[in-house]
């Protein structure tokens, strides 16, 4: 199936390939927020390549997550292309991928015909400079994270720090006291039952919610655990402490959730993450430093450098 994008700029993520589709993740919020900023410069649209993401689904997400007014919500939804089936070809002028999926798209034979392709770089394990199907790609990446690790991507890229549209996040009205939250999605954060119980025994927390797309945690004992599948309504009202757990590859390119936790005044515990871990996971390392030292610079604003880059 061919999708022909007539707008000047397309922002895309979440292609429906079961073995790697992100589903509900921070990338969905990135695509909404960068659309909100880039629409001021370009005739812009959103392309969601996952048929599970419907208009009703997006509307609910926008209402739960943001303080957008009715006109803004209508604009975002009306500017979104929803796919009944995953497209095989996309034709457009300019396109920005927020989830670094070009490597996997190439492997699946999905082809984008575009005058210019931009992509946020998300992983040290996937390189952009050596893509065979795409030769006009500009990676946007934090030089502090990737210099010396993926130097050839740095050489063809532009220095950029991903940000969050903090001013438009809906305010949390309440907080469940002494409640911990574990985010255990199956793509890179799954933990076995014993590990979960061991983590929870370490901290003086009364109860936990586990946010996951997996059915593997419903057998956890007692009333201490509540299992929720994303997206979770009013998530930041449901916990007081986020327990950040290591990823399988010890890599989180530009973690978003700790930024939102800081904004909502939630405590964050970086479980089993010490100096050796952070020497490897520079994405998390740099993010923690920015949260602690220059949090205001993580606000996505109408004057953001992205408007000069694209």
C-alpha radius of gyration, the chain, whole number: 19
| Separation of alpha carbons 183 and 185, rounded Å | 6
The per-residue pLDDT for 229 is: 87
Rounded to a whole number of angstroms, the distance between the first and last alpha carbons of the chain is 27
The per-residue pLDDT for 22 is: 46
| Separation of alpha carbons 22 and 91, rounded Å | 23
DSSP string, the chain: -EEE--SSEEEEE----TTT---SSHHHHHHHHHHHHHTTTS-EEEEE--TT--HHHHHHHHHHHB---HHHHHHHHHTEEE-SS--SEEEEEEEEESS--HHHHHHHT-EEEEEEEEEE---TTS-STT-SS-SSEEEEE-HHHHTTTSHHHHHHSEE----B-GGGBPPP----TTEEEEE--TTT----HHHHHHHHHHS--SEEEEE-S-STTTT--SSSEEEEPSSPTTGGGS-SEEEE---TTS--SS--HHHHHHHTT-EEEETT--HHHHHH-HHHHHHHHHHHH-GGGGB--TT-THHHH-
Please name the residues in contact with 183: beta carbons below 8 A apart, sequence gap of 6 or more.
189, 211, 212, 242, 244, 245, 257
241 φ, ψ to 5°?
-135, 130
CATH architecture type of domain 2-160: 3-Layer(aba) Sandwich (3.40)
pTM, entire model: 0.93
Ranges under pLDDT 70 in the chain: 14-25
Q: What does each C-alpha distance from 40 to 45, 70, 265 come to in angstroms?
A: 12, 18, 31
Q: What residue ranges do the domains of the chain occupy?
A: 2-160, 170-297
| Separation of alpha carbons 94 and 11, rounded Å | 9
The per-residue pLDDT for 284 is: 97
Task: Please check whether residue 94 is in contact with residue 72, taking contact to mean a CB–CB distance below 8 angstroms.
Answer: no
């Amino acid at each position: 199936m061919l999708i022909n994008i007539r707008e000047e700029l397309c922002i895309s993520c979440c292609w429906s390939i079961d073995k790697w589709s992100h589903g509900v993740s921070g990338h969905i919020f990135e695509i909404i927020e960068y659309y909100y900023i880039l629409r001021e410069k370009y005739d812009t649209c959103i392309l969601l390549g996952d048929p599970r993401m419907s208009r009703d689904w997006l509307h609910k997400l926008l209402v739960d997550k943001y303080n957008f007014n009715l006109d803004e919500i209508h604009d975002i939804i009306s500017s979104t292309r929803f796919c009944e089936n995953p497209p095989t070809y996309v034709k457009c002028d300019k396109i920005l991928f927020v989830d670094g999926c070009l490597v996997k798209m190439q492997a699946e034979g999905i082809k984008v015909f575009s005058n210019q392709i931009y992509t946020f770089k998300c992983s040290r394990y996937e390189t952009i400079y050596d893509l065979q199907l795409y030769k006009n790609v500009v990676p946007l990446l934090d030089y502090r994270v990737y210099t010396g690790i993926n130097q050839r991507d740095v050489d063809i890229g532009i220095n950029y720090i991903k940000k969050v549209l903090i001013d438009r996040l809906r305010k949390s009205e309440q907080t469940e006291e002494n409640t911990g939250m574990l985010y255990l999605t199956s793509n890179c954060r799954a933990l076995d039952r014993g590990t979960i119980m061991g983590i929870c025994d370490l901290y003086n927390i009364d109860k936990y919610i586990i946010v996951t797309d997996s059915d593997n945690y419903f057998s956890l004992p007692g009333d201490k655990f509540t299992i929720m599948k994303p997206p979770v309504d009013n998530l930041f009202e449901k916990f007081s402490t986020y327990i950040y757990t290591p990823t399988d590859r010890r890599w989180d390119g530009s973690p978003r959730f700790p930024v939102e936790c800081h904004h909502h005044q939630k405590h964050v515990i970086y479980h089993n993450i010490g100096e050796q871990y952070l020497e490897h996971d520079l994405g998390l390392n740099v993010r923690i430093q920015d949260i602690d030292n220059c949090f205001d610079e993580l606000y996505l604003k109408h004057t953001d450098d992205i408007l000069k880059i694209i």
